């Protein structure tokens, strides 16, 4: 068994308490929720936080609810809970598509939405899904609450705008009528990280695409979305040719690297192919 180096441990039951603990333990403290990324990294001694602030008992962060015209997903919502949420699935099929292929049931039972975003793995599925949805992250800190678009949330691999002493509390997804969404992923095996994955969100009006969101992961798309492909879609009449063009653009504008999952050009190819498939499926779902 791999074992981590020494660390302090403290448990919070409220957001305030969590923030106070973060303040007390300083820069080298890390928040632990599901722990499915952080704990393995600690066991491999790739991560060595001096303190873990456990937020698993912060019940207020575990809710999924509709508030106004947004779906609010608490940071502590487990993957399995999001997958099981009828209201999330009704408004955003992309979230159920993505959750169905994130890791395995054991991880989904424990891993959290907030943890996934804050871990900021360049292959994270939810980062792409929420980017496609133009969701907003709610961050609390000693100076109160601030909101950041998910499209600005990630500042690099394993880096986010969440500062030391701050806590991601919620993700808000705007609910808009007249559209649908989808997420498509290719992995080497069930439960594996994606070779590439794409999410598509379409809002239709008068037979045209009023707004499009394309999320990409594992292919080094800047901030997990494909702005140029979205531009090509916006205002256009949906068609196979249009989706193919969007796929070409999305592929051209990502910057995947080679690793044992596959060479860069294959991943670039996938970015295009999966963009097309996600658009196709989202569009099919728009049909009554």
**Cβ 282 vs Cβ 201: under 8 Å:** yes
Measured in degrees and rounded to the nearest 5, phi and psi for residue 46 equal -85, -25
- Is 44 a binder of another protein (CB under 8 A)? yes
Minimum CB distance to another protein, residue 153 (Å): 24
Residues 6 or more apart whose Cβ sits within 8 Å of residue 216: 128, 196, 197, 198, 199, 224, 225, 226, 250, 254, 271, 275
Q: Residue 164 is encoded by which pair of tokens?
A: 């030391």
- Is 277 a binder of another protein (CB under 8 A)? yes
Minimum CB distance to another protein, residue 53 (Å): 21
Minimum CB distance to another protein, residue 132 (Å): 20
Stretch that binds another protein, among 156-164, 216-224, 235-243, 272-280 (CB under 8 A): 272-280
Tell me how many degrees the CA angle 87-93-95 measures, rounded to the nearest 5: 85
- Is 270 a binder of another protein (CB under 8 A)? yes
Residue 150 CA, distance from chain mean position:
8
Tally of CA atoms within 13 A in the half-sphere of 274 that contains its CB? 28
Query: Which residues 181-200 are close enough to bind another protein by CB under 8 A?
Result: 186, 188-193, 195
- Is 261 a binder of another protein (CB under 8 A)? yes
Q: Which of residues 107 and 286 has its CB atom nearest to another protein in the complex?
A: 107
Residues engaged in binding another protein (CB under 8 A): 1-3, 5-6, 44-45, 104, 186, 188-193, 195, 258-263, 266, 269-270, 273-274, 277
């Amino acid at each position: 068994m791999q074992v981590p180096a020494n660390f302090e441990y403290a448990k919070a039951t409220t957001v305030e308490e969590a923030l106070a603990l973060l303040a007390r333990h300083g820069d080298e403290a890390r928040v632990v929720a599901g722990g499915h990324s952080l704990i393995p990294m600690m066991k491999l001694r790739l991560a060595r936080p001096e303190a873990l602030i456990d937020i698993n008992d912060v019940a207020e962060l575990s809710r999924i609810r509709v508030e106004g015209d947004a779906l609010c997903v608490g940071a502590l919502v487990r993957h399995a809970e999001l997958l099981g949420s009828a209201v999330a699935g009704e408004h955003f099929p992309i979230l159920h598509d993505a959750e169905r292929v994130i890791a395995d049931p054991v991880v989904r039972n424990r891993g959290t939405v907030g943890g996934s975003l804050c871990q900021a793995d360049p292959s994270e599925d939810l980062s792409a899904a929420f980017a496609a949805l133009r969701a907003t992250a709610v961050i609390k800190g000693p100076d109160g609450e601030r909101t950041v678009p998910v499209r600005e949330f990630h500042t690099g691999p394993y880096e986010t705008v969440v500062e030391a002493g701050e806590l991601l509390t919620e993700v808000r997804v705007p609910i808009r009528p007249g559209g649908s969404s989808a997420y498509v992923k290719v992995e080497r095996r069930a439960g594996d990280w994606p070779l590439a994955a794409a999410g598509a969100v379409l809002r239709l009006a008068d037979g045209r695409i009023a707004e499009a969101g394309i999320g990409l992961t594992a292919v080094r798309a800047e901030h997990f979305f494909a702005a140029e492909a979205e531009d090509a879609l916006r205002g256009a009449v949906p068609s196979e040719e249009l989706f193919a063009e969007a796929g070409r653009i999305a592929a051209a504008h990502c910057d995947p690297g080679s690793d044992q999952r596959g060479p860069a050009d294959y991943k670039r190819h996938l970015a295009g192919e999966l963009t097309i498939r996600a658009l196709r499926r989202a569009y099919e779902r728009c049909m009554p």
